[in-house]
Amino acid sequence: MNSVHTAVAVSVFALASCNVSPTIPKTTGGVVLPDAGPDANVAGDGATACDRGTTILLTDYTSTQIALAAPDGTPLSPAFLSTASTTASGLAYALSGDVALPNTTPMSGRVVLIDSYGTNVITWADPQSADVLAQLPVGTGFESNPQDYLELDSLHAYVSRFGDNEAPGAQAFDSGSDVLVLSLQMPNPSIIGSIAMPVEEGLPPRPSGMVRVGAIVIVVLQRISDDFSTYGESALVGLSNDAIAWEMHVTGLKNCGRPAISPSGARMALPCVGALDSSGAPSDLASAGIAILDVTNSPPTILQEFKVSDQLGSPPDSQASWMSETVIVGKTQTPLGASTNNQAFALDTTSGLATVLLTAQPGSNGQGEGVVYGDVRCSPGCGNVCMLADSETGLLHRWQIAAGGLQALSDIDVDPDTGLPPVGLSGY
């Protein structure tokens, strides 16, 4: 998870992993890719059916490692890239401790890394050779804090930048709180445009998660003040041909995160954390929830809204995944030192019932350890597995998607040699 809506999120994860003493891993190289059949996720017409594999981000927020796995999470190359290997390689930008993965699997099939606050770099790697193909700074003179990366076709991509530049104009594309347009001409990708996001009520737009629906790219605007004390109502912006086609507010909901598209492509889940105080505790539960939108309309229409805090005692965190057309798997936003513990849950959008799948253990002082659950990723129709990264135990939890719900599978220790816990999940 990169630096985004709560300033305490990184410290929460780091504290949960403070007993880790990672060793410098040996690079385990690339992986053998399956044949690119009709279900493969490769560059072409933009269709993204089944991923060829899973990208796993392991980090204690000091050292970072990237593992490549099969679609069901079975490790294939546990130390594909790492802070140590990229430093030793002589790359201009070695991996930092604040790396994130794209919300949507890159259609190129490359491994793409978003190095966020303090580095502001996009890195592309070949999953077969483990070679770093290119790196592109996207800071343009300020802390741009990139949040998400989305490929449009084989030659173009978007990068959402959370950071706001208070003194723009020193160099090209330095306005901040925008969406960059990238040229993917390898090995020399470049910035070729910037799409300004709408400013309302004096709040920076703070674009975060993105997703593609047909010809439209939907960008989530979090709209948060520089000191994180004021949260505006989140909004969605639809981009077409590198311009804003429409904007809509997610009425009543704030601090919304990464959108997730249902298996049919007809609905979108948008988890919204709500306003938080400086400790990461919810300060306005009324502004938190999970919105379900009909994305067959443009702009989308809100169909349902679920206040999971009414059942779980905590608001949803900023990322979730569909396990079926009607059930979402997510996790809660839980502050460090609280009386509650982090939870993973399944939300049935038909009944409205949220069922707890896992609950983290409290710390030695009996208090909650904060957000220890990382990304959740489900693959309905493509292996039918749900995975949850757990920085508390250092394991990748897995469930089989079955007719009766989720059935537990064996957990995976992605790389026991380093001890770095899994945090992020994406595809390649």
Q: Which residue has the tokens 């086609």?
A: 245
pLDDT at res. 44: 35
pLDDT by residue (tens digit) across 172-220? 999 999 999 999 999 999 999 999 999 999 999 999 999 999 999 999 9
Q: Among residues 219, 210, 214, 179, which one has the least CA distance to residue 297?
A: 214
Residue type, 129: S
Model pLDDT, residue 424: 98
Cα–Cα distance list, 296 to 49, 82, 203, 301 (Å): 18, 40, 30, 9
pLDDT tens track, the chain, 428 positions: 454 433 333 333 333 333 344 444 578 999 999 874 434 444 333 344 799 999 999 999 999 999 999 999 999 999 999 999 998 888 899 999 999 999 999 999 999 999 998 999 999 999 999 999 999 999 999 999 999 999 999 999 999 999 999 999 999 999 999 999 999 999 999 999 999 999 999 999 999 999 999 999 999 999 999 999 999 999 999 999 999 999 999 999 999 999 999 999 999 999 999 999 988 889 999 999 999 999 999 999 999 999 999 999 999 999 999 999 999 999 999 998 888 999 999 999 999 999 999 999 999 899 889 999 999 999 999 999 999 999 999 999 999 999 889 999 999 999 999 999 999 999 99
Q: How far from 253 is each of 233, 256, 267, 389, CA to CA, in Å?
A: 6, 7, 18, 26
DSSP H or E stretch at residue 9: helix 9-16
Determine the pLDDT at residue 88. 87
Smallest CA-to-CA distance from 218 within 168, 166, 268, 254 is with 268
The number of CA neighbours under 13 Å toward the Cβ of 183 is 9
Torsion of the alpha carbons at 316, 342, 159 and 174, rounded to the nearest 10: 100
Sequence-ordered strand ranges (E) for 116-200:
121-125, 132-137, 146-151, 156-161, 178-183, 190-196
Q: Which residue do the tokens 């009944």 mark?
A: 351
Domains annotated on the chain, with CATH: 9-427 (2.130.10.10)
**This prediction's pTM:** 0.92
Burial of 364 (0-12, 13-18, 19+ CB in 10 A): exposed
